[in-house]
Chain A
Amino acid sequence: MPMSGEFKEKILAPLMSISTGKDLKFVGKSILRKEGIDKVTGRARYVDDVKTPGALYGKTLRSSIACGRIKKISFAPNIPWDQFTIVDARDVPYNRVLQIESDQPVLCDGVVLHREEPILLIAHEDPGLVETAIRSITVEYEREPGIFNIGEGRILKQYDIEEGDWKKEFAAAEVVFEGEYKTGAQEHVYIETNGFIACWEDECLTVHGSMQCPYYVHKALKYAFKLQDDQINVVQMTTGGGFGGKEDFPSVLAIHAALLAKKSGRTVRLIYDRAEDMASSTKRHPSISKVRTACTKDGILRAIDFSFHIDGGAYITLSPVVLSRGIVHAFGPYKWPAAKLHAQCFFTNSPPYGAFRGFGAPQSLFAIEAHMTALANHLGMDPAELRRRNFIHRGDTMPTGQVVDEDPNMEALLDRALELSDYKTKRARWKRGGGKGISLSTFMHGTGFTGSGEVYLASRVGIATTKDGGAEVRVSSTEIGQGTETVFPQIAAEALGIDISKVSFRRPETKVVPNSGPTVASRTCSVVGKLVERAAGKLKQRLAGADIRQHYAQHGEAYEEVEYVPRPGLVWDDDKYKGSAYGAYSWCVNVAEVTVDPVTAMPRVDTLTATVDVGTIINPVLAHGQMEGGIAQGIGWATCENVVLKEGLMENHHLTNYVIPTSADAARIVVEFMPSPYSEGAFGSKGVGELPMDGPGPAIVSALNDAMEAKFTHLPLLPEEMLK
């Protein structure tokens, strides 16, 4: 039942501008999601919805051991193997997946380093036969002992940062307090599993898939197949959630699908079922942090000694940058006269850990925030008061050496969060151990890539005039649910001075759109959005007031492209790992209210209040959506999402035994924005995507400690542990 474009216009037109902003026409307004009608009518096309008559169905044979060598692969005689396409390591032109490094093989070449490592690919027209066939292949191994604990294996990456005379501060301190904090792995559970469709035509490869970063996939395909840029087109389909899970992992899948397509000469669908997706895909890095702090009796912080250890899994993937983002957030939004920050990521025989919303910062911020509350209890102070005495301000220096050149306004955020949650009354009323608890966390999250990352990326953004008198935004930044497809047109319409209904968003495909960098690191709206603003401004200048329709009729498409320009004064030293880690930070306070069932010890997060500074809000409904969704993921990570690891593998890789929050246990989430605009972000915006993931964990665990009169220092905190 195809619905016409007219249908869309009719429905969207009267609703487009539900006004919430003031001076600007489109920025600050809850413009309806541009692709919203497609999504609510079931017309949106995800990769698995693409029809491919005559295509083959692919499947991956994976290792059943965590570490060792492949001795022999045997194919049972009852299967007509000649009807199948079978691909192994020898079929890969260059058997490496290019991410930051290229240590990971596309397919095992004799050596196995983790369970579920891909060994062989097979494909056939009949998906049922593929299932039978894959079970008819036996692999014999020579097992070797694996390494499964943080700290036991080789070091994957290390950073050390020092500021001030921390030794002296500790030696002279009135109070030294220390603790150890642990966080578990977390599975993304995007509701759409990973998938790609690949086909070759005259030495040119096209892949359609679910992904966050089309140019990461492009780069990896180019490397593995030794191709030229223009031999590859990566097309993003509507993507059913990412959260980092579709940042690095899709590159592997795209290469696999392309290998099968190449060997068979047919179109190949490689779409994972849930169990395969959960078992083989990346997860959030588990972490162990040791935090030691020096302070005065009045709780004035003097020094921090933070040691941050994470499990990287069997290959490097994105772990170095996860570790980096973790350590440059480890000190929280506080002023420290001296600091020693030490970070190490270790290899293990787990499937590689990868990007997950927050990218290391939720782990380190859990540690510092749980520690701050524990320290307050140790000092006999209110945890809100301890934080208030130590907040960082404009002009202060962070342990990275970055001088804060914006107003964090943490006091204002804190006051408002305490007021909204009625913190004081509840804290006084709810006795420790009485089954109810209220606690908080205060934190920040950097906007964009860390350090010189944005400079290396050198992102480009294009905008073109269209025949109907409008404009089209061309970027590789993807819509993955967060609202890119709507927010960028808002920014462009505002900068161009034309109506929002006239600005469209080109669905990313690498043949058409410039490389605006990956859709990660809370960078899309703020950093890439600023480039959209600049490109639109440039186009406006070129048009010099001409009517776009007429201009197009006379001159054809007018296209402008801009490139990222580093912010002046922003200096980062990659060797010393010091300098301005981020151009701006988003700031936030969370208050968690919990109840623990006296019989089952079942924890419930009743309310989670967040006061938030993410700069200018481009689209209030979408920004609220980001905050609420991220907070819910944080609640899940703290209370129920337990990745059970066996030989490094997620053993509970089904939705029957990995539990994420449902509507029945949804917390009441209260979000209030208190924006202080950032001059270098699109219309003053800062990063929003990852921030909400950082705060719920420590606030909830601290509130549960109050409710249970306990001293837990890890998450997830499961009912069975609290019963003990």
Chain B
Amino acid sequence: MKQTISFTLNGNSVTVESHPMQPLLYALREDADAPGTKYGCGEGECGACTVILNDELVMSCLVPVVQAEGARVETIEGLANADELHAVQQAFLESGGAQCGICTPGMIMAGVHHLRHPERAPGGVPEALEGNLCRCTGYTRIFTAMKRAKEILSAGGTGS
């Protein structure tokens, strides 16, 4: 039943033994030792499990791991480099965009993706982050953080 599936996770190649239909979320958390990506509902409603798969934003609880075969997967663990946070991480930290932090990995991935492809959300940040629920912040400080992230980037900060 189990199958060998290989993909690139944050630039490193990983191979997992997994049932092909198992959601990518669990393959990441349990098999690939990357528990930064969170479970919130398993139904595609909360966005806590958001990752970037071949440059597309996906809810990893809905993506069978077999779809990641040969793909490039980016998660929260891959954003910061050795001594610098990614601009979006930095901005969330400074602006109070993270409270309990459980939505944060998914929210930040959605934020990163939005800054790479702003044209995909004509309504801007509120639209880009619509799939990511946050119960703590009321979103106000997440919006502030996204503004701040743009500033950090235009000042030459880390992030791509």
| Interface, chain A (partner B; CB < 8 A) | 1, 3, 6-7, 10-11, 15, 18, 30, 32-33, 35-46, 48-49, 188-193, 238-243, 273-274, 480-483, 621-622, 624-625, 628-633, 654-656, 660-664, 666-667, 669
Report the number of A-B residue pairs with Cβ-Cβ less than 8 Å. Answer: 182
A654–B45 CB distance below 8 A: yes
B46–A42 CB distance below 8 A: no
Task: Judge if B113 is at the interface, Cβ distance under 8 Å.
Answer: no
A656–B140 CB distance below 8 A: no
A664–B123 CB distance below 8 A: yes
| Interface, chain B (partner A; CB < 8 A) | 10, 29, 34-43, 45-46, 48, 75-80, 82-85, 89-90, 92-96, 98-105, 108, 123, 125-127, 129-143
B100–A192 CB distance below 8 A: yes
A38 to B76, CA, bound (A): 11
Given contacts A481-B99, A632-B139, A666-B138, contact A46 B94 (CB under 8 A): no
Summarize B's interface: helix, strand, loop or mixed: loop
B38–A624 CB distance below 8 A: no
B140–A669 CB distance below 8 A: yes
**Most chain-A Cβ atoms within 10 A of its Cβ — which of B39, B76, B103?**
B39
B46–A655 CB distance below 8 A: yes
A7–B83 CB distance below 8 A: yes
A378 to B56, CA, bound (A): 56
B79–A660 CB distance below 8 A: no
A189 to B76, CA, bound (A): 23
Q: Which 9 A-B pairs have the closest CB atoms?
A: A42-B36, A240-B102, A481-B100, A632-B138, A39-B101, A42-B76, A655-B45, A481-B99, A628-B138
A130 to B141, CA, bound (A): 41
A663–B132 CB distance below 8 A: yes
Cβ of B136: which chain A residues have Cβ within 8 Å of it? 241, 481, 625, 629
Cβ of A629: which chain B residues have Cβ within 8 Å of it? 99, 135-138
- Choice from B35, B96, B129 contacting A622 with Cβ under 8 Å: B96
CB distance from A121 to the nearest CB of B (A): 21
Cβ of B39: which chain A residues have Cβ within 8 Å of it? 48, 193
A273 to B40, CA, bound (A): 8
Cβ of A630: which chain B residues have Cβ within 8 Å of it? 138
Cβ of A662: which chain B residues have Cβ within 8 Å of it? 130-131, 133
A40–B36 CB distance below 8 A: no
Known: A1-B77, A39-B98, A41-B89. 18 other contacts (CB 8 A): A3-B80, A10-B83, A11-B93, A32-B94, A40-B98, A41-B79, A42-B77, A49-B35, A238-B100, A242-B100, A274-B43, A481-B99, A628-B138, A633-B138, A656-B45, A661-B139, A663-B127, A666-B138
B76–A41 CB distance below 8 A: yes
24 contacts between A and B (CB under 8 A): A6-B83, A11-B84, A11-B85, A11-B93, A41-B76, A41-B80, A42-B105, A44-B101, A190-B102, A190-B135, A191-B134, A191-B135, A239-B100, A240-B100, A241-B136, A273-B42, A274-B42, A654-B43, A655-B46, A661-B138, A663-B125, A666-B126, A666-B143, A667-B138
